[in-house]
A and B are shown apart, each in its own frame.
Chain A
Amino acid sequence: MPDKSDLPQGTLDLLILQVVAAGPIHGYAIAQRLQLISRDVVQVPQGSLYPALHRLENRGLLAADWKASETGRESKFYRLTPKGRKQLKAEAASWLRLTEAIELILKPSGASR
């Protein structure tokens, strides 16, 4: 099982925003979705997930509503605010640019060595 510290700093916020962008979703489902999509590479423990969620809510990137879920309990559903959507776009773009660059460096195409 990959260590959680493998996740570079700041990326958790980005991943959460990406998952929430799909529609209102509660904390547990976010963790499940991340694990599922990443094929078990990204496992976010409760102790990291919730502070991150609350931080994003505090910064106004996420908003939350309480809804009765299928289990009958009250669950907190997060959704993206317009500000969060903008942030997601900007961060995703810059992340992609960065990873492309890193890939270029790490996979030298033949002659340069």
Chain B
Amino acid sequence: MSWWRRLLRQQALERALDTELRDHLEREIEAGVRAGASEADVRRQMRLTSGGLDQIKESCRDVRRPPALADVAGDVRFAWRMLGRNKWATAGAIVTLALAMGVANTTFISTYADLWRDFPFERPDRIAIMRTIDAHGREAGLSFADYQDWRREARVFDGPSAAFGIGTISLGRDGTAPEQLDGLYVSADTFSVLRVKPMLGRDFAAADDRPGAEAVVIISSNIWKSRYAASRDVLGRKVSVNGATPATIVGVMPDGIRFIDFTDVWLPLAQMPGLAAQRRDIRPLMMIGRLPDGAGLDRVRADLSPIAANLALAHPDTNKDIRPLVNTLLEAYNGLMALTSSAIYIPLLAAVFVLLIAAANLANLLLARAAYRSREIAIRLAIGATHWRIVRGLLIESLLLAAVAWALAVGGSWLALRLSTSQAAPQLPYWHLKMDVRLLLVLAAIALVTTALFGLAPAVYASRRATADGLKEGGRLSTPPKVRRWTYALLVGQFAVTLALLNGAGLTARRLFNFYALDRNVQTSDAVTTVIRLPAQTYATRDQRIAFHQQLQARLLSSPGVVASTVATAAPFTPAGRRQLTSVDGRPTADPPPDVMTMVVEPAYFRTVLRGLVLGDSFSELHGTPGHEAAIVNQRFAEVYLGAGSPIGRHLELKLPTAQRTYLREADSPAPPVSVAIIGVAPDVRQVRDAVPTVYLPFRAEAPPAVALIVRGSGGSISGAAAVRNAVNAVDPDLALGAVRTLDELRDRSRSGPAGMASQFATIGGLALVFSGLGLYSAMAYAVRRRTQEIAVRMALGAKATQVRWLFLKTGARVIGAGVALGVPAALIVGRMLQNTFVGTEARDAVTLLATVALLTIVALAASIVPAGRATRIEPTAALRIE
């Protein structure tokens, strides 16, 4: 029987014991009375021989009570007293552990939220998403024709498969202003694969998804509420879609269903513009299907690969070397990141490192305490305490320490999460910060193991030596050299890890500074931007689009408060399109030709958005017309592709890449000019991450249907937004507008990733620095105290203050020296990981590394100089008298 069940049965046992003993008593009395004694006599006789009934009961209970449990309460009280007696050390240990666990917890949670989001679909890990990859490893979607073949021949899926393509869909004027929304063209079975149903109305039927079918639309609950005031009679309403097609609203999706991420409008795939005529090498679609029970992605790959191989044979010009790329929907949402990819585990690793540093600090604190405690333990052993009893006491102390720290860490990170969730709106779909029980348990385990491991140190070495030795030492502090070596080894490890973390923080910060430097080339103040998407039905030709933009420009520039206005295929800080650079000055570049960023801009772009050109002049109104093909490149392009010599007058050949990267939501543009001459050089700016080789082409040459309008006001961006809405409404009241954002907003949002990473690293690195500094300080302070007598003797014999100081500085110098020696390779490894994850981060940056080493050295010297200084102020006479 186990002891806890016995505890539960305590009452029954008590009753049984009482009955049994009373039974005995009665029998004794009966026998006594039969023999002629009085009842009272018998009772007295029994008390004389056996003691009272309660005493007997107690000794019976003792037999049953598990001994370990018996005095735990007393041990806990004792542990509290011991921890309380050494308030500062205890507080230090608890705060160290709590801070490290808290930071680790929040880091893990925010990374986890990034990775495994809350999906509103059933088993998103069982939904496979299919795209394609070519021989060069370039990823793309799927063409409509390929999708039809794959769907017809695939056998692996549980239920139907489906396809969808991303597009911006506008809803026309229907009592409310026309609006541009994130849309998705979905095949009829898409929502069945996802296993979601509209909360109002119906799902798409197969009949809706046929060429020529009457257009139907499903809207998100967001739009239902904002645009249609959550009215139930929204079903059956007609609204014009993409400026032309009248469509019937047939369904409203439940709250939170915005597949694929921020979608507000769904149309049947058949409504996707240009679908029927789509060539096999235009690949805008993605395919989804449910994995059958027990099947992995390999089964899907095995099923689709022969289909793709057959298509490659049948259509060699478009499908050669095109292979299926299969992931789970979960992976796809998570940016195709697995838990092993370094972007995920860099912050986690950093958090683990800081936890290690904290653990090392704690270990040193507990080891130092062990020295104080060894005498106490020796005494307790001498007066008869068992080893187990002492170990148990120390374990309880460790447990208390860990429990308090854990509670603080959990409370602290809960508060931190509450704060961060209330401040920042989630930037990622289905992003959710929440505490995780498993995580808290892991942290509790780490706290317990660390404290228990090092909390037991005093018991271990107190029991190793003879009891008499422990007592003999008198009041002096002592640590065996072995323990001291451990202390310094831990300190060296701490400094090495801190160096790696701080260097990482420096690298991410430098990358952020790099952003700041590049962003200075963009005039963001008082500028707003929005995407203008001219529907193909009303603006079929280039000239119509040019005319529209000329009218809009004139209207804008005459609006009060508008200073300048221009148009480009992408606003700053947003992704721009790419083309293949096939040749420079008639010489082919490489095979395959490299992709360069391409922006189609109006002449005013460079003085409105950038701060002018570095070299040459901007486009004129003539450029872009036949015979006047021209381009402007940025400095980076000139460095990479043009080498020495002036870029002006050089010739480039550009081509649209065949594999469209559809998930970039690129605007589709007509065929570009084949050959262009460079007329100017623009300063480097950053569209997304870093300055990349960029070619600017004149707007007039192509006038793409979707462009970013950038308008600068004379002050106050709100007036800018209003001016844009008014001007667009005046030129074409049926033209749907998307969100109007300020350039500042776009810039800040594009920085938030690296800024978040930098601040995470800075927090963790800073914490590590503080912990290491405190760790070294307390070790040195302890060493000074331990060696007080030795120093007193030395000084009495004539040692100088500098010599005494050097005694301790030497140790500090050794620790930092070894720490740097170990830390520099570690820093280089962390740097390499950062570089692999974040393009544009330097793996090796001598300035950052030197600065980090210098900072660490200063902290280490400061941490050893204070205790060393204290050593020189020891009064030899006073110190020697103590003994």
Contact = CB atoms under 8 A, between A and B. Distances in A.
Interface string B61-80: 01110000000000000000
A46 B47 CA distance: 9
Contact of A45 (B20, B50, B64): B50
B62 A51 contact: yes
Interface string A58-82: 1000000010010101111000000
B55 interface: yes
Contact of B56 (A46, A58, A75): A46
B64 A47 contact: no
B421 interface: no
Interface string B1-34: 0000000000000001001110111111010000
A31 B63 CA distance: 19
Contacts of B23: 26-28, 69, 73-76
A46 B78 CA distance: 36
A60 to B, nearest CB: 10
Contacts of B20: 27, 50, 75-76
A51 B57 CA distance: 8
B656 to A, nearest CB: 86
A54 interface: yes
B60 A27 contact: no
B28 A28 contact: yes
Interface in A75-94: 75-76
Interface size class of A (residues with CB under 8 A): 20 to 34
A26 B26 CA distance: 13
A97 interface: no
B27 A71 contact: yes
A24 to B, nearest CB: 14
B62 A74 contact: no
B26 A71 contact: yes
Contacts of A66: 16
B328 to A, nearest CB: 56
B63 A55 contact: yes
Contacts of B64: 54, 58
Contact of B46 (A27, A46, A58, A74): A46
Contacts, number: 61
A76 B62 contact: no
A50 B60 contact: yes
- Which of B21, B26, B59 counts the most A-chain CB atoms under 10 A from its CB? B59
Interface in B178-222: none
B825 interface: no
A75 B21 CA distance: 9
B849 to A, nearest CB: 67
Contacts of A50: 20-21, 24, 56, 59-60
Interface in A4-26: 4, 26
B16 to A, nearest CB: 7
Nearest to A26: B23
B329 to A, nearest CB: 59
Contacts of B92: none
A51 B49 contact: no
B49 A45 contact: yes
B19 A46 contact: no
Nearest to B21: A50
B51 interface: yes
A47 B50 contact: yes
Contacts of B16: 66, 76
B86 to A, nearest CB: 41
B39 to A, nearest CB: 16
Contacts of B30: 71
A3 to B, nearest CB: 11
B7 to A, nearest CB: 15
Nearest to A27: B24
A74 B20 CA distance: 8
B500 to A, nearest CB: 57
Nearest to B59: A51
Residue in B16, B24, B46, B56 whose Cβ sees the most chain A Cβ within 10 Å: B24
A16 B63 CA distance: 16
B19 A51 contact: no
Interface string B32-60: 00000000000000100111000110011
Given A47-B55, A51-B60, A51-B62, A74 B27 contact: no
A54 B59 CA distance: 10
B838 to A, nearest CB: 66
Contacts of B56: 46-47, 50-51
A58 B65 CA distance: 10
B517 to A, nearest CB: 79
Contacts of B21: 46, 50
Nearest to A76: B20
Given A47-B50, A47-B51, A73 B26 contact: yes
Contacts of A45: 46, 49-50
B43 to A, nearest CB: 12
Nearest to A32: B31
Contacts of B46: 45-46
A66 B62 CA distance: 22
Nearest to A73: B23
A10 B21 CA distance: 22
Interface string A34-49: 0000000001011110
A76 B59 contact: no
Contact of B19 (A54, A58, A76): A76
B19 A74 contact: yes
B13 to A, nearest CB: 10
B32 to A, nearest CB: 12
Interface string B466-480: 000000000000000
Nearest to B30: A71
Contacts of B63: 51, 54-55, 58
Interface centre among B16, B25, B46, B56 (most CB of A within 10 A): B56
A47 B27 contact: no
A43 B24 CA distance: 15
Nearest to A48: B50
Contact of B27 (A28, A43, A48, A51): A28
A69 B26 CA distance: 13
Residue among B20, B56, B59, B62 with most chain A CB within 10 A? B20
B6 to A, nearest CB: 10
Contacts of A48: 50
Nearest to B46: A46
A69 to B, nearest CB: 8
Contact of B50 (A46, A73, A75): A46
A43 B21 CA distance: 17
Contacts of A31: 24
A65 to B, nearest CB: 12
A6 to B, nearest CB: 14
Contacts of B55: 47
15 contacts: A4-B49, A26-B23, A26-B24, A28-B24, A47-B49, A47-B55, A48-B50, A50-B20, A50-B56, A51-B63, A54-B64, A66-B16, A73-B23, A74-B23, A75-B20
Given A28-B23, A50-B60, 10 more contacts: A4-B49, A26-B23, A26-B24, A50-B59, A51-B59, A54-B63, A54-B64, A58-B63, A71-B26, A71-B27
Q: Give the top 10 A-B pairs by smallest Cβ distance, nearest first.
A: A47-B50, A46-B50, A45-B49, A45-B50, A28-B27, A51-B59, A55-B63, A54-B63, A76-B20, A28-B24
